[in-house]
């Protein structure tokens, strides 16, 4: 019934309201006589039946003229109340004037006063009942989700008004830390203290908490989400204060909690001069341009006004996607050139760098998944080490100004082939930089980035959506996390500070226990993990064991010789190097082993050349 009423045309809704008003007015005049005379049907009422005909004839045109039927029910507010009182008052005055002219002595004058009161109430209440019937029916009838709003400020007040016009959420309570607001009502919704949250969730069967505190800092948001993650309700957020336009808050502004909200990192504002230094007006090559880091490098670099961006990737689909995205931005001053090839193809790499007169290279192409490289040693090391060697040598020969290698925390005291191959890639650049070269080589080392291909975050999100189980390798495993945009922003600034042979290490903050991350993601999705204390939970967490070569803890520094750079979140490490002669001999061994598919030779080489490499067989 409600859906049928909602879908009616505006003209039909207006016709229903006119019919309802006629009924309300007729009932009001009858009730006025009955209340005044103390009889449901008296002789005086019967002798004044003319008034039942006159009232609709007089009042409905007045209602129409004053715009009472032009108000949109969904957005009806106090203006409708004022207009209704005006219309009823004019109608009552006209009726009184008619009585005086025709001297209707047998009609009590107080009937008009009673009529004014009764009809005003009926007309106003009737409208809001009709609005409630269509748009704000009780959540148990229309299946809206009982929702708690955290934050009883202006954003919360605007949000609850928006929710009342929405069919998905039913606001049932406010939670606020301001003691002066406790027990008050905002838009008919009561404000409670945080300590009452559990009782509200249990008694009202709340399904959602919407955070309406857009001014909350990243650290404050992280701490609040940590407290809320104990409750089996889905938590959603309004965007930050700077994202809200003209102070308008609506249901469209609500978004899901992301992992960066849980981690609560506070990005440091970038230095514009560092961002532009190696990019503005220059020709840029990005290898692995279609990957998680590579594609974000493309997005940020194109906004720094380079002359040309060359996208280099061996995945046709990834290359097509980032090429399409950059061209759709319509930044006409920047030429975008997609190259479908592999960094192990020396001739192609050299041709691309020379023909496009590349000034700066960001080398992000690599095999990064630990288990895959562990099972494919020859190809993994060949791609990572020889690919880096090819790009570096071509950069050197073509006198490229800068080359930045995207490295990883797994290169520090590696326990797997992937980490060892990335550390060897660093050694290639350090060795070549020691030679007479016009190219400034540097590398930037950091940990996991959120939502990168193959990371735990999208995996957990997918597993939770499918109802579990959520798979965690070990109860004590920890990892560093950073958002992809923040990591790339720091990579660009680090590369601009390089003097040659620099190993930059990004400040990743505090390591996060993966099991805690899984539990928080489950709880903030409105579900609960199955544990010994909560056997009736929704999502099971399964421990699968560490994968081959995987560490419990990741590190960012090999030694303790580290200095702070001019940027507060970027450090410089001073670490042992290989001579260029040693690097070249090792490259020959890798190439020969690749030709012969000899895993053991490559493993032995890495054990000899990469400091701290201790393979772990799990």
Share of the chain above pLDDT 90, in %: 28
Closest CA to 267 of 507, 593, 607: 507
Do the bridges between strand 255-256 and strand 234-237 make them parallel or antiparallel, or are there none, so unpaired? antiparallel
Strands lying side by side in the sheet with 208-211: 185-186, 189-192, 169-175, 145-150, 208-211, 234-237, 255-256
| φ, ψ (nearest 5 deg) of residue 367 | -85, 125
In this model, does residue 72 exceed pLDDT 90?
no
Q: Per-residue pLDDT averaged across 558-562, rounded?
A: 54
User: In the structure, what pLDDT confidence band is assigned to residue 74 with cuts at 50, 70 and 90?
Assistant: low
Say what the pLDDT of residue 564 is. Answer: 63
475-515: pLDDT as tens digits:
888 877 777 888 898 889 888 888 888 888 887 667 778 88
Question: How many CB atoms lie under 10 A from the CB of residue 44?
Answer: 15
Euclidean distance between CA atoms 524 and 261, whole angstroms: 11
Between 269 and 590, the more confident residue is 590
- Can you tell me the mean pLDDT for 558-573? 65
Residue 255 confidence (pLDDT) above 70: no
Q: Residue 424, exposed/middle/buried by CB under 10 A (0-12, 13-18, 19+)?
A: buried
H or E stretch at 11: helix 10-37
Model confidence at 87: pLDDT above 90 = no
Model pLDDT, residue 140? 40
Torsion of CA 372, 376, 380, 382, to 10 degrees: -170
Point out the least confidently predicted range of 335-349, 477-491, 542-556.
542-556
131-135, 144-148, 299-303: range with lowest mean pLDDT: 131-135
Query: From CA 516, how far away is CA 178, in angstroms rounded?
Result: 30
- The answer to whether residues 126 and 21 touch, using CB atoms and an 8 Å cutoff, is yes
Of 435, 414, 436, which is closest to residue 425 (Cα–Cα)? 414
Helices (H), 271-383: 272-277, 292-302, 316-328, 346-355, 370-375, 377-381
SS (H, E, C) 523-591: HCECCCEECCCCCCCCEEEEECCCCCCCCCCCCCCCCCCEEECCCCCEEEECCCCCCHHHHHHHHHHHH
**How long, in residues, is the chain?**
618
Nearest alpha carbon to residue 318 among 361, 350, 286: 286
Q: What whole-number distance in Å separates Cα of residue 406 and Cα of residue 425?
A: 10
What are 23-62's pLDDT values in tens digits? Answer: 888 888 888 878 777 777 766 666 677 777 888 888 888 8
466 near 460, Cβ under 8 Å?
no
The yes-or-no verdict on residue 381 having pLDDT over 70 is yes
3-state secondary structure of 283: strand
Give the per-residue pLDDT at 177: 87
Question: In 3-state terms, what secondary structure has residue 614?
Answer: coil
pLDDT-derived band at 246, boundaries 50, 70, 90? very low
Residue range 551-577: average pLDDT?
Answer: 66
What is the model's pLDDT at position 132?
60
Cα–Cα nearest to 362, from 435, 283, 271: 283
Name the pLDDT band for 422 (thresholds 50, 70, 90).
Answer: very high
Per mean pLDDT, which of 265-279, 324-338, 393-407, 545-559 is the most reliable? 393-407
pLDDT above 60 for 142: no
Identify the pLDDT of residue 257: 65
| Rounded-to-integer distance, Cα 390 and Cα 176, Å | 59
- pLDDT at position 305 over 60: yes
Q: What is the pLDDT of residues 436-445, one digit of tens each?
A: 899 999 999 8
Top-ranked range on mean pLDDT: pick from 90-104, 155-169, 303-317, 459-473: 303-317
**Which helix (H) or strand (E) covers residue 80, if one does?**
helix 78-102
**% of residues, the chain, pLDDT over 70:** 80
pTM of the entire predicted model: 0.65
Mean pLDDT of 570-584: 84
Look at residue 267 and tell me whether its pLDDT is greater than 70: no
20, burial (CB in 10 Å: exposed 0-12, middle 13-18, buried 19+)? middle
Q: Residue 344, preceding bond cis, omega within 30 degrees?
A: no
List strands edge to edge, sheet with 562-564: 335-340, 308-313, 283-287, 360-363, 402-406, 440-445, 502-506, 570-573, 562-564
Res 138: pLDDT: 47
Mean pLDDT along residues 11-28 = 79
Find tokens 């990243």 and name the residue.
218
- Domains and their CATH numbers in the chain: 2-135 (no CATH), 139-257 (3.40.50.720), 272-451+480-508+555-609 (3.40.50.720)
The neighbouring-strand residues paired with 285 are 310, 361
Phi, psi of 309 (to 5 degrees): -125, 125
pLDDT at 575: 75
Residue 248 burial by Cβ neighbours in a 10 Å radius (0-12, 13-18, 19+):
exposed
Give the whole-angstrom CA distance, residue 268 versus residue 373.
34
Whole-number mean pLDDT of the chain? 81
**pLDDT value, residue 265:** 61
């Amino acid at each position: 019934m409600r859906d049928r009423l909602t879908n009616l045309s505006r003209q039909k809704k207006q016709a229903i309201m006119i019919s309802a008003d006629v009924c309300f007015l007729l009932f009001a005049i009858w009730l006025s006589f009955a209340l005044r005379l103390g009889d449901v049907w008296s002789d005086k009422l019967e002798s004044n039946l003319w008034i039942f005909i006159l009232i609709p004839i007089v009042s409905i045109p007045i209602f129409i003229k004053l715009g009472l039927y032009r108000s949109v029910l969904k957005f009806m507010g106090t203006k409708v109340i004022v207009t209704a009182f005006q219309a009823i008052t004019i109608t009552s005055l006209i009726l009184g004037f008619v009585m005086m002219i025709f001297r209707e002595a047998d009609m009590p004058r107080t009937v008009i006063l009673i009529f004014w009161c009764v009809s005003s109430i009926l007309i106003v209440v009737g409208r809001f009942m009709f609005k409630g019937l269509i748009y704000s029916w009780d959540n148990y009838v229309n299946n809206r989700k009982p929702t708690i709003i955290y934050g009883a400020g202006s954003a919360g007040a605007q949000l609850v008004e928006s929710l009342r016009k929405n069919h998905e959420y039913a606001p049932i309570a406010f939670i606020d830390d301001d003691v002066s607001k406790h027990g008050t009502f905002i838009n008919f919704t009561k404000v409670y203290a945080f300590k009452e949250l559990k009782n509200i969730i249990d008694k009202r069967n709340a399904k959602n908490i919407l955070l309406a505190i857009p001014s909350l800092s990243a650290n404050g948001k992280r701490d609040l989400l940590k407290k809320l993650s104990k409750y089996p309700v889905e938590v959603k957020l309004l965007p930050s204060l700077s994202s809200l336009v003209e102070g308008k808050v609506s249901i469209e502004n609500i978004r899901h909690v992301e992992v960066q909200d849980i981690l609560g990192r506070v990005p440091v504002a970038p230095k514009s001069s560092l961002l532009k230094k190696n990019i503005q007006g220059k020709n840029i090559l990005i290898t692995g341009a279609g990957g998680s880091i590579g594609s974000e490098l493309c997005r940020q670099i194109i906004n720094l006004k380079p002359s040309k961006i060359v996208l280099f990737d061996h995945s046709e689909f990834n290359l097509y996607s980032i090429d399409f995205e950059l061209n759709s931005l319509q930044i006409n001053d920047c030429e975008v050139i997609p190259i479908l090839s592999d960094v192990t193809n020396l001739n192609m790499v050299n041709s691309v760098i020379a023909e496009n007169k590349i000034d700066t290279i960001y080398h992000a192409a690599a095999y990064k998944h630990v288990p895959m490289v562990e099972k494919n040693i020859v190809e993994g090391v060949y791609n990572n080490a020889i690919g880096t060697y090819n790009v570096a040598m071509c950069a050197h020969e073509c006198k490229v100004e800068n080359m930045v290698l995207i490295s990883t925390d797994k290169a520090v005291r590696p326990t797997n082939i992937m980490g060892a191959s990335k550390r060897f890639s660093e050694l290639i650049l350090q060795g070549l930089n020691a030679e007479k070269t016009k190219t400034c080589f540097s590398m930037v080392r950091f940990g996991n980035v959120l939502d990168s291909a193959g990371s735990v975050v999208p995996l957990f999100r997918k597993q939770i959506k499918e109802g579990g189980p959520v798979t965690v390798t070990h109860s004590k495993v920890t990892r560093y996390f950073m958002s992809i945009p923040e990591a790339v922003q720091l990579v660009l600034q680090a590369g601009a500070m390089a003097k040659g042979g620099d190993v930059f290490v990004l400040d990743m903050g505090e390591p996060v226990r993966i099991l805690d991350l899984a539990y928080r993601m489950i709880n903030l999705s409105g579900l609960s993990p199955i544990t010994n204390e909560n056997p009736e939970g929704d999502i099971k967490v399964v421990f699968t064991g560490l994968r081959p070569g995987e560490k419990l803890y990741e590190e960012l520094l090999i030694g303790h010789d580290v200095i702070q750079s001019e940027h507060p979140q970027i450090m410089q490490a001073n670490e042992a190097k290989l001579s260029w002669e040693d690097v070249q001999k090792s490259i020959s061994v890798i190439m020969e082993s690749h030709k012969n598919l000899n895993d053991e030779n490559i493993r032995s080489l890495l054990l000899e050349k990469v400091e701290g490499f201790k393979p772990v067989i799990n």
